[in-house]
Amino acid sequence: MKVELIAYTPEPEAVVAAAARLCYSDLGASEIRENLSPEEVRSFLEKLISIGHLSPLEHASFTFAIEGVSRALSHQLVRHRIASYSQKSQRYVDEENFEYITPPSIAADPDALELYRTKLEEIRAAYRQLARIVPREDARYILPNATETKLVCTFNARSLLNFFRLRCCRRAQWEIRELAHRMRQEVRQVAPTLFALAGPSCETEGICWEGKMTCGLAREVRRRGVPDHGRYNLGT
């Protein structure tokens, strides 16, 4: 899997802080931004996040190039509606030599791996045959969820917090969880305060919504003590 943050709002934290301050000030956003020190930006963002005033976070956006992921992953990713996507087309791009993603559980089991590879090669042969007699857009119907795909996606910071909350969770499917962790790593480098507490509610609040299917981390976090430096309140 390759995940790269290829573009983002310049000075995302200052932009969000200035937009939020504007709500409570007579001054214009440019003037506010010029007068905010990095320390003020940081403490203002922490406060903003802890009280759940998250709409100003929508002014900062982040664009990722993602490669080496499966169509099983991309199907889950695009369920996140508050984002923009561009994905490699199976209508316009020939898939005769498609790459495929192998889940770790299959890679770890020689019999499963042998079966997996054999069947995927059969599918490849069938695709090639079909693509000679029907349009690519129809031949692709035989391609599996394992088929490798490439995407570009753009999220705003608020939507990313929702994404990390759902997909960094240990209960999320392994491939999209790995993607979420990589994306979180990328944005933390350029907006550390905005994403300091990004992640599942067990990590930030000691609360798990998975009921009986909980992995138990929330209990562990509560035992260690929930961070008191602020919580994401995704409610407003």
Ligand X SMILES: Cc1cc2nc3c(=O)[nH]c(=O)nc-3n(C[C@H](O)[C@H](O)[C@H](O)COP(=O)(O)OP(=O)(O)OC[C@H]3O[C@@H](n4cnc5c(N)ncnc54)[C@H](O)[C@@H]3O)c2cc1C
CA atoms within 13 A on the CB side of 20: 26
Q: Which of 21, 124, 158, 167 is catalytic?
A: 167
Which of 23/213 has CB closer to ligand X? 213
Which part of the chain contacts ligand X (CB under 6 A), choosing from 119-127, 134-142, 165-173, 193-201?
165-173
Which part of the chain contacts ligand X (CB under 6 A), choosing from 79-87, 88-96, 128-136, 201-209?
79-87
79 binds ligand X (CB under 6 A): yes
167 has catalytic annotation: yes
* The one-letter amino acid at 24: Y
61 binds ligand X (CB under 6 A): no
CA atoms within 13 A on the CB side of 84: 5
Measured in residues, the chain has a length of 236
Which of 19/166 has CB closer to ligand X? 166
Residues 6+ apart with CB under 8 A from 150: 65, 66, 67, 68, 69, 87, 88
Instruction: Give me the residue label for tokens 């919580």.
Output: 231
Q: Cβ 206 to ligand X, closest distance in Å?
A: 19
Query: CA 81 to CA 103: how far, in whole Å?
Result: 26
Residue 85, strand partner residues: 153
The beta-carbon contacts of 224-230 under 8 Å, at least 24 apart in sequence, are 227/197, 229/46, 229/50, 230/46, 230/47, 230/49, 230/50, 230/197
80 binds ligand X (CB under 6 A): yes
Footprint of ligand X on residues 82-111 (CB under 6 A)? 82
157 binds ligand X (CB under 6 A): no
Q: Cβ 77 to ligand X, closest distance in Å?
A: 9
Which of 81/229 has CB closer to ligand X? 81
Among 42, 53, 88, 171, contact with ligand X (rule: CB under 6 A): 171
Residues identified as active-site: 167
Residues at the site binding ligand X, with contacts judged by CB under 6 A: 79-82, 159, 162, 166-167, 171-172
